[in-house]
Amino acid sequence: MAKRIDKSKLSCNKPRPLRRGEAGYGVKKRVVLACKGKEQKLVKFGAVGFRHNYSPRANENFTARMQCDSKPPSKLTARYWACESLWARRKKRT
């Protein structure tokens, strides 16, 4: 049985990888304790099956599919953290 994640050991709005043995390991890549005002929520995000294909084309497809360029949703959603952390716009090399 997977152990639960201790919220008291997590910092607000600081994503970190899921560790072996934690609930959600092997299904999701990262976890964050999302804080907005007095609300707190444990958010797991990032599909493991996607591996490491963060190419410019994959980034463009993901941002279009998840509408990352539109008004950002609440920090308490997985979509927000996927757009901000995993798929953040990267500067092009010149």
pLDDT at 94: 47
Question: For the residues 11-35, what does the mean pLDDT come to?
Answer: 87
pTM higher than 0.85: no
Residue 8: exposure state from Cβ atoms within 10 A (0-12, 13-18, ≥19):
exposed
CA 41 to CA 13: how far, in whole Å? 10
Which percentage of the chain shows pLDDT scores above 70? Answer: 88
**pLDDT category, 27, cuts 50, 70, 90?**
confident
Q: Establish how many alpha carbons lie within 13 A of residue 89's alpha carbon, considering only the half-sphere containing its beta carbon.
A: 7
